[in-house]
Amino acid sequence: MGHQPHYIEYLNHPELKKRRLVLEKGMIFASPEVNQRVYDEMGIKKLVSPYGLTETHIGGTACEMDDPLELRMTTVGRPMPGVEIGIRRTDGEEFLPQGETGEVCFKGWCIAKGYFDDPQKTADALDGAGWFRTGDLGVIGSDGCLRLIGRINDMIRVGGENVAAADVESVLLKHEAVKQAVAVGMADARLAEVVAAFVELKTGKQTTEQEIIAYCGKHLASFKVPRRVVFVTDWPMTGAGKI
């Protein structure tokens, strides 16, 4: 199992196409586009994308291994046994109906009691009924499966428009020269924030900042297009392997 950066390294390994991988099952924490590439290019047919947090002891949602491929590639599945899920308004306590986007909340056996020596953070995340606010945006479809949209804190506010960093990253990763990509908000005097992108290129590939910006302009609304692109070769990583 691994996060998106791990699998992108595997997909770009120079020996990948020369080897026959014998992997029957895998867990991936990545975008639907990367999920599909791993399924197609690495041949892991029993691939699922479960969802959980440290604060939920990894409890949360998951698909079954024999669920239809479309569900396993594009959703993080249904609640695990003993876990309840709800979608709340990001600016309030109200729970939203199926099909509406809001903050993913969990309740059940897996929820941590709180944050050590931080009562304010605990109060912000846990309510009196035991619901935990994940900080993630999601929507529950008519199939009962959760689809993640991105982190609330990763939303970039461009003028009056909300931009999900994941939407920009998804387009960047389709560029033939791009290996890894991260979109962030950059301060702007007129719009408050604009999109900036950090990009790692594939070995042997070359491109320019202006070419990347022009490419994004063909595939994204103008307010989502990065105004600056920074090329990097190393990433700051968490202990769990996230950028």
C-alpha distances out from residue 213 to 155, 177, 183, 224, 232, Å: 19, 13, 12, 10, 16
pLDDT of residue 126: 96
Number of domains in the chain: 3
Would you say residue 215 lies in a domain?
yes
CA distance 87 to 133: 9
Distance CA 175, CA 4 (A): 17
pLDDT at 240 over 80: no
- Cα 155 to Cα 163: distance, rounded to the nearest angstrom: 6
The pLDDT assigned to 224 comes to 97
Q: What DSSP string describes 156-176?
A: EEETTEEEEHHHHHHHHTTST
Q: Does residue 113 sit in the same domain as residue 136? A: yes
Phi and psi (nearest 5°) for 83? -115, 130
| CATH code for position 100 | 2.30.38.10
Q: Tell me, yes or no, whether 133 and 166 share the same domain.
A: no
Interstrand relation of 2-3 and 25-29 (parallel, antiparallel or unpaired): parallel
What are the tens digits of pLDDT across the range 161-172?
989 998 999 999
Q: What is the pLDDT of residue 15?
A: 92
Tens-place pLDDT, residues 71-108: 999 999 999 999 999 999 998 999 999 999 999 999 99
Sheet of strand 51-52: strand arrangement? 51-52, 60-62, 78-79
* Full residue range of the structural domain in which residue 44 is found: 1-49
Q: Is 167 in the same domain as 116? A: no
